[in-house]
Each structure stands twice: as structure tokens, then as C-alpha cells.
Amino acid sequence: MYELLDQIHSPEDLRNLSKKQLPQLAQELRDFIVESVSQTGGHFASNLGCVELTVALHYVFNTPYDRLVWDVGHQTYPHKILTGRKDQMHTMRQRHGLAGFPKREESEFDTFGVGHSSTSISAAQGMAEGAKLAGEDRKAIAIIGDGAMTAGMAFEALNNAGCKDTDLLVILNDNDMSISPNVGALNTYLAKLMSGKFYAAFKNTTGKVLDVAPPLKEFARKSEEHVKGFFTPSTLFEAFGFNYIGPIDGHDLDALIPTLQNIRSLKGPQFLHIVTKKGQGYKLAEKDPVAYHGVSKFDPANGLSSGKSGGKQTYTQVFSDWLCDMAAQDEKLVGITPAMREGSGLVAFEQAYPDRYFDVGIAEQHALTFAAGLACEGRKPVVAIYSTFLQRAYDQLIHDIALQDLDVTLAIDRAGLVGADGPTHAGAFDLSFMRCIPGISILAPSNEAECRQMLTTAYLHKGTTAVRYPRGTGPGVEAAKTLEPMEWGKAEQLRTGEKVAILAFGSMVTPAKEAAETLNATLVNMRFIKPLDIDMVNQIALTHTHIVTIEENVVAGGAGSAVLEALVANGHCKDVLMLGLPDQYVEHGDHAKLLAECGLDAQGILTSIQKRLATQKD
Ligand SMILES: Cc1ncc(C[n+]2csc(CCOP(=O)(O)OP(=O)(O)O)c2C)c(N)n1
Ligand SMILES: CC(=O)[C@@H](O)[C@H](O)COP(=O)(O)O
Ligand SMILES: [Mg+2]
């Protein structure tokens, strides 16, 4: 039972509370998040850090008329709870349940769909300009973390918004953390602001007392100057044309609420810098915000279980081991991550080779062009990147790397569906968008051992190469300790059957095995999407009547399309069934169940082929 929280069904209810009741509400909200996320899993520490800010925003602003635009969106559980979704929190990130990120279809309070970072300022500015054009006085507020603030897109938006007189409020939620500790010059700069004249008291208090909270007179004066246009910038954000306010304690409602109320009446671009603690209120998360960034189910009394999973190795672990082993063999190897050290498996590499490790912040575009520069100087860059985030760096992949035939290896994790994070994070498109780039080579392993071998193969191959592998574990084929490459461009025929040939790519080789057995079909592990093994395709076409392609990528433009193109180019006219992800966004949920929904589990593959055969006469 939550005395106040149970009565809040919309922000209207929240706005009917007295200010005095808000600290209790915040405490209940925090308790509820601990209870609920410990039962469902999901993003955790950032949500605890955002409780007071969320209460204050919905209290002060007239949501949903006023637009709250959250960056990344992994910190929006308090927002979801306060906007009528408390009773659905137990469905978090499950199929047909609540999404882990804001989603426009889910609620009118979710003004903008997110998952990828650093979009909030642009979107909020668009909304603010839209309101102005419509003659409406609504407010637009972007809430962005210090990690998300490091991306180029955020600065593109500041650069644009700061020269307009549009009413836009940017709130920087600075907790000195990205997923791992935040990096870069901006982070150093924010730390300086923190330790400066404004904020001396915060660090040594329980977070309740501020020397200068709220600095109302100060910001009223500054904003008057700002409007008059003769103010001298003293922070980076002022130099960008914003009226800078802060830093203030983002856990202190007595500071947040009057500050926001005052800002609300100000005109032009406003920038509020708040300081929070990731994991606030749950000691274990405060102590280890990296581990508690995203969690699986846990016992709130004891925290995350520290015992090893004991299960199979994940592909990420295979990559992590390979990277360290290859780095030991080749001193030219350098490893790059755009802010995904843990997720991409670079922790061990950073520890062993700190000088050759580069966390460039949330900056995928920069990560690739930076790799290109290193390659120009004879280094051998390995960029570890999630498939979905590589989308951000498409031009850099073409223009800065492949076009110049630079020797860069992309280790593309989370290729295919990712499960609970849903469509914003699915690696559904990389085969399609990379396959058309001249000069690039693309490999997809069917198991862990092959993953290691392919990483070696790609790394030793001169030129731009990509190895794409899925989230989580594979079939459990233990990787060798050696660094042996495989034969370049050659597929592997796993089974010889009759009439039907299944050409499977990467993660789809294992589920295709059952169908191949049942149908007495030929099964080929294609291994290379580019260069495609044309000899194999020709030989299959000459000896089979039906060809089936299977991939964990959208069918449109993917690996099956490559096979189709090869068949046409070589004059084969065959019945081809192309299986893969559909031409729609696959929602969040359990990975295996989603694959089954897409017909990409063993049974689904068999059924699709049988249906097709039933419609064909040979
Ligand atoms: C374009 C993009 N790259 C990487 C990520 C992965 N990612 C999600 S949250 C996060 C850290 C964000 O840090 P911050 O904005 O400070 O929020 P905090 O987690 O500290 O609350 C990262 C790197 C992402 N969502 N989008
Ligand atoms: C919000 C975000 O982008 C990350 O926290 C992401 O959810 C991590 O995904 P993995 O769990 O697959 O590393
Ligand atoms: Mg942060």
C-alpha cells in the first residue's frame, strides 16, 4: 500500500497535492520502483535518480499540454507511474506490456519515442517552434543526461536553438555517469561547474541543503540581461545563447519546484543544470550504478546476485576474450567503444590495454571516423558497436572508412532482435544497409566458435570488415583458444538433401537444422554475406528445385536478397522462399518468443517451408 502514490492516476492528481506532501510521494515512488523493477527487471539506477525531477516537472508544468521530452527514455519509469501506468508496471518490457522507453502509442504523456540518445533537444525545439507557429503557449522541455549530452546531435540542437527566441527549456540531469563513468572534456567541464562557486555545499550534505538553492535572484537577473542582449557568457551553455541556471540539487524538491516555477515564466532558451545521484535511495545502486544501470530480477533485500550465471558464454564474452587475445598478438590493435564498455565486452581489454582503449562517449559517428584516422596511421582499429547504434554512423562507414578502403574491423553486437528493449534497439537492418556498400565484407557466425574464428578472419583481412552477432548466448559451441582464420568467402555445407536447399545465415543456422532434417533438405551455413559464396549458390541452384534463405535481419535488402541477386545474375530461375524479419517494427518481449512470432524458430521455419512446398509443383 502506498498512501499517496495509490491516489495518483494522472498528473492532475499530483497537482492537487500540497507541496508538503511531495517528499512523501517521492519516497513512495522510489519504493515502488524498487519493488516493481526488482520483479520485472529493466532499467533501474537512472530511474531512482530521476524521481524528484519527475515529480517536480509534472507538478509545475501542465502536462501533457506542456511537452516533456525525455532523452534516451530509460529513466522514465517514474514518469510512467505518475501518468496512469502504475498498475501496468508489472508488465514492463514484456510482450504487450509497457515499453521500457517512452512510446507515443502508449500514452499522450509520451510526447516523443526514444531509446537512442541525444534526440531530446532537437525534438523539443521542433515542438516549441511548432507551438509558436500554431500560436499556442505550451512549453517544451528536454530532459537530457550528462552522458547523452556528449553526442554531436545534442550540440547541433543547442547551436540551433540558442540563436532563436523560442521558449525551450533544456534540463541537464548531471549524475556524472553514462552507463559507465562518463568521459570526455564536457564531463570535465561539468565537474568544474559542480565544484565551482554555485554548488560547494551539495557534495557534503545529504542532498537536502544548498548554499544557493534556488538561485532565483541570480537567474532572474541573468535572464533579464539575456533578454536585453548584453550579458556576458560565463558558461558554455550561455555561450550557446541559453540562459544558464544552476547547478541545483536535483533531489531537493524545495529547490526544484520554485526554480521550475520561475523558469516557466521566462522567455527564450533556458538551460537548467541539476545534479543527481544515479541509484539515489537504494544504497547498492548508489555504490555500483554500473551494475544497476539495467538489471534482471533481483531480491531488493540482497541486491543483484553476484554468482556467475554458470551458463553458456555470450557472444559478447567471446568477443571480449578474442579482443584481448588478438591484442596480445598484435600491438597495432586498438579498441574503440562509443560509451558501451560493459555491453560490448571491453572491460577486460581496458584493464589489460588502457593505452589502446578508447571510450569516445556517446558519439557513434565520431567513433567510426576516429577509427578511420587511426587506420590511416597504421593502427588496426576494432570498433565494438551495437547494430542499432551503428545506424547513427552510416555516412561515416561509407565516406570515411569503406570509400577509402581503410582497414577497420567492426564488431557488431546485438544484431537481430534484442528482446526487452524492443524496436528502438533491434539490430534488424545492418545487413541491408551494409550490404550495398562497395568494398565492405560482412560475416555472420552461427555459433560461438565460429564467432571467434570470424573475428580473426575479418581482422586479418585487409580492408573494411564487419562481423555481426546476436545478443546473448548461442548454441554453446566452445570457442578454441587459437586465433585461426577460416577460408575467405566460403560457405559450409552442413547437410546434403534433395530438392530443397536451406541457405541459412548466422543465428538462423541452428533453428534451420530441424527443418532440414524433417524435410531431408540440404542445409548450408552461408557464413559470408559479402562476399557471398557464389560457387555454392550456383551449385545449389543446379542441384535443387527450391531454395530457402533465412536470416535474422529484415528480408528487405538483406542476405536473402544477396542470394536472389546472385541467382538472377547467374541465370538461375528458381523458386526462392526468403525468411527473415518482417517489414514492420517488432515490439519488445522475450527474444525467443518474438522470433517464434516472426516464424524464425525451428517450427516456424519448417511450417513456412512446408506451406510453400504445398503451393508449388516440381
Ligand atoms: C545513440 C545511443 N548510443 C548509446 C546508447 C546506450 N546508452 C543508453 S543510456 C546510456 C548512458 C546515458 O547516460 P546519461 O544520459 O547520462 O543517463 P544516465 O544513465 O546517467 O541516467 C547509453 C550510453 C543509446 N541509448 N543511444
Ligand atoms: C538504454 C540503453 O540503450 C541501454 O541501457 C540498453 O538498454 C542496453 O542494452 P543491453 O542490455 O543489450 O546492453
Ligand atoms: Mg548520466
Q: Which of 291, 268, 269 is nearest to 279 (CA)?
A: 291
Q: Domain check: are 124 and 249 in the same one? A: yes
Q: Domain check: are 336 and 434 in the same one? A: yes
With respect to residue 310, please indicate whether it lies within any of the assigned structural domains. Answer: no
Mean pLDDT of the region 158-163: 95
Q: Which residue ranges have their beta carbon within 6 Å of ligand 2?
A: 72, 74, 179, 294, 343, 414, 418, 421, 471
Residue ranges of alpha helices (H) inside 49-145 are 51-60, 77-80, 120-134
Range of the domain at 392: 315-468
Q: Domain check: are 120 and 245 in the same one? A: yes
- Specify whether 471 is catalytic: no
Name which residue sits closest to atom 6 of ligand 2, judged by CA. 421
What CA–CA distance (Å, rounded) separates 254 from 199? 16
Residue 218 has pLDDT above 90, yes or no: no
Q: Domain check: are 290 and 320 in the same one? A: no
CB 145 within 8 A of CB 179: no
Q: 148 alpha carbon to ligand 1 midpoint, in Å?
A: 6
Q: Domain check: are 182 and 273 in the same one? A: yes
Q: Point out the annotated binding site.
A: 74, 115-117, 146-148, 175, 282, 364
The string of pLDDT tens digits covering residues 251-273 is: 999 999 999 999 999 999 999 99
Tell me, what's the pLDDT at 207? 38
Relative to the alpha carbon of 46, which ligand is closest? 1
Residue 184 has pLDDT above 60, yes or no: yes
Q: Which amino acid is at 295?
A: V
Relative to the alpha carbon of 385, which ligand is closest? 1
Tell me, what's the pLDDT at 225? 55
Q: Point out the annotated binding site for thiamine diphosphate.
A: 74, 115-117, 147-148, 175, 282, 364
Q: 18 alpha carbon to ligand 1 midpoint, in Å?
A: 34
- Per-residue burial over 357-391, b if 16 or more Cβ lie within 10 Å, else e, is bbbbbbbbbbbbbbbbebbeeebbbbbbbbbbbbb
Q: 332 alpha carbon to ligand 3 midpoint, in Å?
A: 32
Helix (H) or strand (E) holding 597: helix 591-597
With respect to residue 354, please indicate whether it lies within any of the assigned structural domains. Answer: yes
Tell me, what's the pLDDT at 193? 86
* Bridge partners, residue 381, by sequence: 334
What CA–CA distance (Å, rounded) separates 386 from 366? 15
Which of the residues 28, 67, 277, 364 is marked catalytic? 364
What CA–CA distance (Å, rounded) separates 326 from 484? 11
> Which single residue is written with the C-alpha cell 544504497?
283
- Specify whether 612 is catalytic: no
Going 218 to 237 to 424 to 453, the CA torsion angle's sign is negative
Query: What DSSP letter does each residue of 413-442 carry, written as one string?
Result: ES-B--STTGGGT-B-SHHHHHHTSTT-EE
Of the candidates 295, 327, 356, which is a domain's last residue? 295
Ligand 2 atom closest to 342 (CA)? 13
Relative to the alpha carbon of 144, which ligand is closest? 1
Relative to the alpha carbon of 118, which ligand is closest? 1
Q: Which of 78, 65, 32 is nearest to 250 (CA)?
A: 78
| Number of residues written out for the chain | 618
Name which residue sits closest to atom 11 of ligand 1, judged by CA. 178
Q: Domain check: are 230 and 361 in the same one? A: no
Q: Domain check: are 514 and 421 in the same one? A: no
* Pairing of β 294-295 and β 42-43: antiparallel
Which of the residues 356, 392, 468, 471 is marked catalytic? 392
Q: Domain check: are 245 and 328 in the same one? A: no
Going 450 to 452 to 457 to 463, the CA torsion angle's sign is positive
Residue 194's pLDDT band (boundaries 50, 70, 90)?
Answer: confident
Residue 210 has pLDDT above 60, yes or no: no
Q: Domain check: are 463 and 355 in the same one? A: yes
Residue 402 has pLDDT above 80, yes or no: yes
With respect to residue 302, please indicate whether it lies within any of the assigned structural domains. Answer: no
Q: Which of 300-309, 342-351, 573-582 has the lowest mean pLDDT?
A: 300-309
Tell me, what's the pLDDT at 229? 46
Q: Point out the annotated binding site for Mg(2+).
A: 146, 175
Share of the chain above pLDDT 70, in %: 93
Q: Domain check: are 212 and 253 in the same one? A: yes
With respect to residue 486, please indicate whether it lies within any of the assigned structural domains. Answer: no
With respect to residue 307, please indicate whether it lies within any of the assigned structural domains. Answer: no
Going 334 to 335 to 337 to 342, the CA torsion angle's sign is negative
What CA–CA distance (Å, rounded) separates 223 from 295? 42
Q: Domain check: are 131 and 263 in the same one? A: yes
With respect to residue 245, please indicate whether it lies within any of the assigned structural domains. Answer: yes
Tell me, what's the pLDDT at 240? 96
Residue 72: left if φ>0, alpha if ψ -120 to 50, beta else—which one? left
What is the separation of C-alpha 417 from the centre of its chain, rounded to a whole number of angstroms? Answer: 13
Q: Which of 346, 421, 473 gets mutated to test ligand 2 (max ligand atoms within 8 A of its CB)?
A: 421
The string of pLDDT tens digits covering residues 456-502 is: 999 999 999 999 999 999 999 999 999 999 999 999 999 999 999 99
With respect to residue 481, please indicate whether it lies within any of the assigned structural domains. Answer: no
Looking up residue 154, the CATH number of its domain turns out to be 3.40.50.970
- For residue 271, what is its C-alpha cell? 538551460
Q: Domain check: are 496 and 449 in the same one? A: no
- For residue 485, what is its C-alpha cell? 582464420
Name which residue sits closest to atom 25 of ligand 1, judged by CA. 116
CB 92 within 8 A of CB 40: yes
Ligand 1 atom closest to 117 (CA)? 26
With respect to residue 308, please indicate whether it lies within any of the assigned structural domains. Answer: no
Q: How many domains does the chain have?
A: 3
- Specify whether 364 is catalytic: yes
Q: Which of 520, 489, 484, 485 is nearest to 502 (CA)?
A: 520
Phi, psi of 141, deg, nearest 5: -130, 120
Q: Which residue ranges have their beta carbon within 6 Å of ligand 1?
A: 46, 49, 72, 74-75, 116-117, 145-148, 175, 177-179, 278, 339, 362, 389, 392
Tell me, what's the pLDDT at 311? 79
Residue 618's pLDDT band (boundaries 50, 70, 90)?
Answer: low
Of the candidates 237, 265, 295, which is a domain's last residue? 295
Residue 212 has pLDDT above 90, yes or no: no
Tell me, what's the pLDDT at 220? 54
Looking up residue 534, the CATH number of its domain turns out to be 3.40.50.920
CB 148 within 8 A of CB 117: yes
Mean pLDDT of the region 208-226: 49
The string of pLDDT tens digits covering residues 588-605 is: 999 999 999 999 999 999
Residue 309 has pLDDT above 70, yes or no: no
